[in-house]
Amino acid sequence: MNRDPRYSVVLSMYEKGHIKSFFDIFKYVPKTRVGLDIGMRVDRLNKFLKKVETFTLEHIDRIASLCDLDLDVMMELWRKEYRQQKEIRKGKVPALTKK
């Protein structure tokens, strides 16, 4: 399988501080590409992204591997997104629009 070259940007953007949460990855690699590479249709991926707690560890690990990120780093990015979504659902933080 030929890996999409856009994945190689993710690590450097993380190291530069431009990627601070799970969703930031999709600024550099399209959801359709990630979905295909982890074996998930984009509509299903979008459902998972609305409730990031539905991702399995296997999904998170696959994305980490594609992005050349350590699993611990990817889990921290995921946790930030999870906490933000949890606060939004509780009504403590106004919902942010994601691109």
CATH number at residue 38: 1.10.260
Q: What is the pLDDT of residue 91?
A: 83
pTM of the predicted model as reported, rounded to 2 decimal places: 0.86
Q: Residue 93: pLDDT above 80?
A: no
The residue whose two tokens read 């919902």 is 95
In a domain, 99, yes or no: no
64 class by beta-carbon count within 10 Å (0-12 exposed, 13-18 middle, 19+ buried): buried
In a domain, 96, yes or no: no
**For the chain, how many structural domains are there in total?**
1
What is the rounded average pLDDT of the residues 19-41? 95
Question: What are the tens digits of pLDDT across the range 41-72?
Answer: 999 999 999 999 999 999 999 999 999 999 99
Domain for residue 18, yes or no?
yes
Mean pLDDT of 75-95: 87
Q: For residue 6, give the DSSP letter.
A: T
